[in-house]
Amino acid sequence: MLGFFKKKKKLVLKSPVVGKSIDITEVPDEVFSTKMVGDGIALIPSEGKLYSPVDGKIVNVFPTKHAIGMETQGGIEILIHIGIDTVGMKGEGFTSHIEENQKVNAGDLLMTFDIDLIEEKAQSSIIPVVITNMEKVKSMQCYKEEVDINSTIMEVEIS
C-alpha cells in the first residue's frame, strides 16, 4: 500500500542573475523561443554576474564562455546561455570562474560578463535558462517577475 505514495522529486531553480524573468517564447532567437533545445525561462540581467541556479556539476563551459551546461544530482540537464548571438564575441567580455566537472552550489559565482559590450556586439543580453532533457520532467512552473539570486524562477517535478 505504501508504494502508491511515492514521494515527488522536485527541483527548484533560483535566478542566476539580478534582473527580470520573462517567458522563453519572448527570446529573440527561434532556437530558444520555439523550445528546440528544451523548455525554460529567460532573464534580462541588470548586472554582469551569473550565479549557479542549483546545486550540481558543471558539464560544459563553452570555449567562448557564452554558455554553460550543468547537471543536477537528479539528472536534470540545464543550459545557461548568456546573451543572444554572443558566440561571435569569441569570449570577449566574459570571465569564467568555474571549470568542467566542478561541483557547484546554488548561489556560487559562475561567470562575469560585460552587459554593455554584449548589447553593443551581440543581438541581446537576454539569458535563456533551459532544461535540455525534458523527457525527465513531469511538470514545470516558471515565475516571471523582478528577480535576484534568492528568487525562485522555476520549479520542476522530475518524473
The catalytic residue positions are 81
User: Which residue matches cell numbers 518524473?
Assistant: 159
Kindly report the three-state secondary structure assignment for every residue of 29-89: CHHHHCCCCCEEEEEEECCCEEECCCCEEEEEECCCCCEEEEECCCCCEEEEECCECCHHH
For residues 2 and 149, give the distance between their C-alpha atoms in angstroms, rounded to a whole number: 38
Strands of the sheet containing 94-96, edge to edge, are 49-51, 109-113, 94-96
Amino acid letter, residue 44: I
The DSSP 8-state label assigned to residue 124 in this structure reads B
Residue 24: strand, helix, or coil:
helix
- Read off the C-alpha cell for 114: 560585460
Beta bridge mates, 21: 43
